[in-house]
Amino acid sequence: MVSRVNLFIPIELKQREFYSKVLIARYAVERGFRVFLGRKSELNALALRMENGVYHGLSTAQNMTVFYESLARRGYRISVNDEEGLVTFSDAMYLDLKVAPTTLRFIDRLFAWGPENHRVLTRGRPEITDRIHISGNPRFDLLKPEFRGIYDGEVKSIRARHPNFALICTSFGSCNHYIRDLDYVQSLIEKKVLKNPESIAAYRRYQEIKMRAWQEFNKAIPLLARAFPKIHFIIRPHPSENPESYRVFTGKFSNVFSSDEFSIHPWVLAAKVVVHHHCTSSVEAFAAGTPGFALRPDPDPQVEKEIPYECSRQCGSAMELLELLHPAFVSEGEEKLPLLKPTCDYREVVHNIGRPVASEIIAKEVAQLAKTKGLGRAPCVWGTGRAWLKSFLSPLSPRNWTNQRYLSHKTATITVAEVRQAIGIFVPNLVTRFRYARAGPRIVSIENAN
Confidence band (pLDDT; 50, 70, 90) for 2? low
pLDDT, tens only, 51-87: 889 999 999 999 999 999 999 999 999 999 998 888 8
pLDDT digits (tens, 9 = 90+) for 204-219: 999 999 999 999 999 9
CA distances (Å), origin 390, targets 8, 316, 336, 393, 410:
20, 49, 53, 5, 22
pLDDT above 70 (res 183): yes
- pLDDT value at position 252? 96
| Residue 274, pLDDT above cutoff 80 | yes
Specify the CATH number of the domain 150-345: 3.40.50.2000
Q: Could you tell me which residue, 302 or 261, shows the higher pLDDT?
A: 261
pTM: 0.87
> Are 71 and 407 a contacting pair, CB within 8 Å?
no
Task: Considering only residues 427 and 401, tell me which one the structure prediction assigns the higher pLDDT.
Answer: 427
Where do the domains of the chain lie? 6-137+351-448, 150-345
pLDDT digits (tens, 9 = 90+) for 228-244: 999 999 999 988 899 99
CA–CA gap between residue 185 and residue 194 (Å, rounded): 8
pLDDT tens digit sequence for 288-342 = 999 999 999 999 988 888 999 999 999 999 999 999 999 888 765 555 677 777 7
